[in-house]
Amino acid sequence: MIASIKLNKREFKVNLNAPLDLSIPIRGTGKNVNAWYADPPKITPYKEGEFVASVSEGASINFNDIYFNPHAHGTHTETVGHITAESYPINKHLKKFFCLAEVITIAPEGHGEDRCISRVQLEYALKDRDCTAVVIRTLPNTGQKKTRHYSHKNPPYLLEDATRYLVERNVQHLLIDLPSIDKEKDDGALVSHRAFWNMEGKKRVDATITEFIYVPNKVLDGTYLLELQTAAFENDAAPSRPVLYKILKDE
């Protein structure tokens, strides 16, 4: 289905029958993507006494209990409530689900013993493009990102100045294929999270960060329509399914 959309004072057409899914699913196995020293997620049949709620075990239905952490176990979207004493549930603060997004690919640079994304790299990749969301694919980009265990691996992250640049550009939604925009072990400084949500000024309570995405190599850099939906959890973060749609060129 071809739909006409108007965003950022622009009108364009997209093919809603050709979605590009950027999410990593949650699976109840040790092969699930993992970070922050968490145990693997669990998806197991509900049990009560001798009753096991699984059709394969003789029940009439499958009725599973699911245990997971949204920050550790898959694609998730979070609000400023991730780092505040006040509650800012994602279910209440993500109010618009469609926006223009710019997909960019960056090879994190050496920064001491770390690998980081710098302001200069973002400036070069984004140039003067007008977008509400930025989707960052890091290199190398392999399917192993969908099952990798990141704990104690010091994965790449955004330098504080790079994140401040996105705020200066009024980027409302930041999506990245890493477990965090901050350094894994930083003694709780969380400088990029704090910069993105402007914790030293007026908090950007409707701005979101989405981590643990996977951008397939077939998705080229450029401008897309982004649909960002989350599960309706009253929590600072929830599993999410960001989907891109190509913008069709006028014939």
224-235 confidence digits (pLDDT tens): 999 999 999 999
Q: How far is CA 13 from the centre of its chain?
A: 25
| Predicted local confidence at residue 3, as pLDDT | 85
Asked whether the predicted pLDDT for residue 251 surpasses 80, the reply is no
pLDDT band at 4 (very low <50, low <70, confident <90, very high): confident
**Number of Cα atoms under 13 Å in the Cβ half of residue 164:** 9
Helix or strand (DSSP H, E) at 10: strand 10-15
Q: Residue 43 class from Cβ within 10 Å (0-12 exposed, 13-18 middle, 19+ buried)?
A: middle
pLDDT band at 249 (very low <50, low <70, confident <90, very high): confident
| Predicted local confidence at residue 5, as pLDDT | 85
Let me know: does 126 contact 104? Beta carbons within 8 Å.
yes
94-109 confidence digits (pLDDT tens): 999 999 999 999 999 9
Residue 159's nearest CA partner among 128, 188, 193, 134 is 193
Chosen CATH of 2-24+70-248 out of 3.20.20.100, 3.50.30.50, 3.30.413.10, 1.10.3450.40: 3.50.30.50
pLDDT band at 6 (very low <50, low <70, confident <90, very high): confident
Average pLDDT, the chain: 96
23-65 confidence digits (pLDDT tens): 999 999 999 999 999 999 999 999 999 999 999 999 999 999 9
Query: What residues does 210 pair with on adjacent strands?
Result: 77, 175
Asked whether the predicted pLDDT for residue 250 surpasses 80, the reply is no
- Name every residue whose Cβ is closer than 8 Å to that of residue 251 and which is 6 or more positions away in sequence: none
193-221 confidence digits (pLDDT tens): 999 999 999 999 999 999 999 999 999 99
| Predicted local confidence at residue 7, as pLDDT | 85
Percent of the chain beyond pLDDT 70? 99
How far is it, in rounded angstroms, from Cα 239 to Cα 76? 4
How far is it, in rounded angstroms, from Cα 151 to Cα 173? 25
| Predicted local confidence at residue 159, as pLDDT | 98
Tokens of 196: 């993105």
123-157 confidence digits (pLDDT tens): 999 999 989 999 999 999 999 999 999 999 999 99
Q: Residue 1 class from Cβ within 10 Å (0-12 exposed, 13-18 middle, 19+ buried)?
A: exposed
